[in-house]
Structure 1
Amino acid sequence: MPCAPSPEAAHWFELSLVLTAADAERLGECLLDAGASCVQAEDALANTEEEVAIFAEPGQEAEHPRVWPQTRVTALFGSHPDQASQAAASLLKEACEAAQLPLSSHWQLRALDNQDWVRLTQAQFQPIEIGNRLVISPSWEPLRESHAQRKRLVLDPGLAFGTGSHPTTALCLRWLDAHIRGGERVIDYGCGSGILAIAAGLLGATSIDAIDIDPQALIATSENAKRNQVPINTFLTRGDTLAPADIVLANILAAPLKLLAPTLEALVKPGGFLVLAGLLNRQIEELAGFYPRVRLQAWQELEGWSVLVGQR
């Protein structure tokens, strides 16, 4: 996983080399033990015709083993510029000895530009206007005068998925902005950061349940809901025992949405709406067939992603 250096060091350098998958894992751990500030691993063949994809949706198997045959290991460390080459060689030597690997002479060293990492990270997250009534902004961003008439959803990037920037989340937020009138009961299934549940509350929903299988997501949802002063009930469950809702949202992926079809259909009260997202445009026709009790139709699409909406 990519990482940024702590702000204390004056000069930062990257040491990188290519290894087999098994050796990369062993060396990566030993580089950390030897003093690297952080280590990342990536496909050495990335952005080439030989790049290997190792991901898959939940409920599906990846087409390839979950390792890269050729893995680039990159270690970040701090040093004075005139000692960087010697420090890199020493770091690698200690790590190779600990990992019981031969010392490689094929490594590269690169100096990194000094950055204000906090400011650089924060600059990536700007306010996002949603429809006519909502704006999402991080806590460090002052409310702009142009957003004074909008409901502000305060959300900082964290461990759980959902900041409003991804097309699937944006589509669900647009739908909520256009359709919530006040007083609705809402279920956010696969809540992540809680962004959809919180948005529903800010727009007028009065009873909100958030469900996820990840305890960290429920912690994030609870914290974000408290920050936005929106009361939300959180559940680490499949949700089978919950009372049906006026609106059920599920921004997940195609494979789990197929598996969850009976549960999600049952959670929608007669006359209520089911909103499904996390779907590529090419997946919507097949997925709609898994929901015979709700007449699903494509509502909007954005950057190759679609949201399906149906009324029971």
Structure 2
Amino acid sequence: MKWSELCIHTTNEAIEPISNILHEAGASGVVIEDPNDLVKERDTFLGEIYELNPSDYPEEGVYVKAYLPINSFLGETVDEIKQAINNLLLYDIDIGTNQITLSEVNEEEWATAWKKYYKPVKISEKVTITPTWEEYTPVSTDELIIELDPGMAFGTGTHPTTVLSIQALEQYVADGDTVIDVGTGSGVLSIASVLLGAEQVFAYDLDEIAVKIAGINAKLNKVDEKIKVKQNNLLDNVDVTADVIVANILAEIILRFEKDAFKLLKPGGIFITSGIIKKKKQDVKNALINAGFEVVEINQMEDWISIIAKKK
């Protein structure tokens, strides 16, 4: 079978929504080529450093690449992807150059092209994320390992917004907690919550593909008995009370349900929000305060913000 490599020249801000669009379109894997990776300091003992070729990377912005089978529907699929990306402008998301190119690759090239980008990565004090095909030995007795297959998941969980979310979960999730994961995607935050001590997690996503993937990843990590994955629009009609609610999602979406999150949290409960670009930080902060929250922590990684709020 022949495959088409779809390359989108865009911005760091648009990586996650575009990745989601590509997966919904049937992409079997997404590669992100960010020039920051060429200069980023890494923990070499985890082995995630790979020989990266600077010529593969743009001087500005990022490349998001996906692989689609070449068939009679390819043209229609690409047109739908282009339209969906253009629609991101309605959410005030900077899509940058938005130059899209197509090139043909054979089966062998496709099978290995994106795997070289994914190695075990320690993303918090306790949590390490590793691709399913990598052999990995924990370096400490309390290390928590999450296995993901980027071919079926929304990335490997190493994007700054996910890292910020897991670092916050590690700080605030306690043994026996109930956690709600809004916009679960690959389910990585739900999995991390259980490994960190949560007794039950309710994972919601509007996308039925994400719901399926989150369920598969939960089983892969042997935590599916404690994670209930359901297709749902944000917190609509949810009546679960939680100790922690986490949402790694666009700022514009967070602003649609911050009051619902306040209602569903127990007194003293924690609302972890991530996926916020810098220019939206104040909007989210103000909305959380107006909903009754106390903002207890604001963290930043690269161009991304996470805000942790507490129900008084």
Normalising TM by the smaller chain, what interval? 0.5 to 0.7
Native 8 Å contact 1:2 1:40 kept in 2? no
Give the structure with higher Rg (CA): 1
Letter in 2 for 1:236: Q
Aligned to 2:86: 54
Letter in 1 for 2:91: Q
Does structure 1 residue 219 correspond to structure 2 residue 212?
yes
The structure with higher relative contact order (CA 8 Å, sep 6+) is: 2
Native 8 Å contact 2:131 2:156 kept in 1? no
* Change in CA separation of 1:118 and 1:37 when aligned onto 2, cut-off 3 Å: farther
- How big is the shift at 1:191? 0.3
Among candidates 141, 148, 156, match of residue 163 of structure 1:
156
Residues 80-95 of structure 1 correspond to what in structure 2 (within 5 A)?
none
- How big is the shift at 1:207? 1.1
- How big is the shift at 1:3? 5.3
Residues 139-150 of structure 1 correspond to what in structure 2 (within 5 A)?
139-146=132-139, 149-150=142-143
Aligned to 2:198: 205
Residues 96-135 of structure 1 correspond to what in structure 2 (within 5 A)?
116-135=109-128
Tell me the percent identity. 27
Aligned to 2:310: 311
* Change in CA separation of 1:37 and 1:286 when aligned onto 2, cut-off 3 Å: closer
* Change in CA separation of 1:185 and 1:77 when aligned onto 2, cut-off 3 Å: closer
- How big is the shift at 1:265? 1.9
* Change in CA separation of 1:129 and 1:62 when aligned onto 2, cut-off 3 Å: closer
Helix, strand or coil: the match of 2:5?
Answer: coil
Distance (whole Å) between structure 2 residues aligned to residue 137 and residue 309 of structure 1: 26
RMSD: 3.4
- How big is the shift at 1:163? 2.2
Does structure 1 residue 237 correspond to structure 2 residue 269?
no
Helix, strand or coil: the match of 1:140?
Answer: coil
Distance (whole Å) between structure 2 residues aligned to residue 40 and residue 75 of structure 1: 12
CA deviations 1:258-293 (Å, max 9, x no partner) are 112222222211110000111012211111222221
* Change in CA separation of 1:283 and 1:298 when aligned onto 2, cut-off 3 Å: farther
Residues 142-291 of structure 1 correspond to what in structure 2 (within 5 A)?
142-146=135-139, 149-230=142-223, 231-238=226-233, 239=235, 240-291=237-288
Native 8 Å contact 1:127 1:135 kept in 2? yes
For these two proteins, the number of residue pairs brought into alignment is 235
* Change in CA separation of 1:73 and 1:159 when aligned onto 2, cut-off 3 Å: same
**Unaligned ranges ≥5, structure 1:** 5-30, 42-52, 79-113
CA deviations 1:187-227 (Å, max 9, x no partner) are 00000000000000011111110001111111011110011
Distance (whole Å) between structure 1 residues aligned to residue 245 and residue 76 of structure 2: 41
**Unaligned ranges ≥5, structure 2:** 8-69, 80-84
Letter in 2 for 1:233: K
Native 8 Å contact 2:5 2:104 kept in 1? no
Normalised by the length of structure 2, the TM-score is 0.66
Distance (whole Å) between structure 2 residues aligned to residue 74 and residue 3 of structure 1: 5
Native 8 Å contact 1:249 1:276 kept in 2? yes
Native 8 Å contact 2:6 2:100 kept in 1? no
Distance (whole Å) between structure 2 residues aligned to residue 207 and residue 123 of structure 1: 34
Helix, strand or coil: the match of 1:201?
Answer: helix
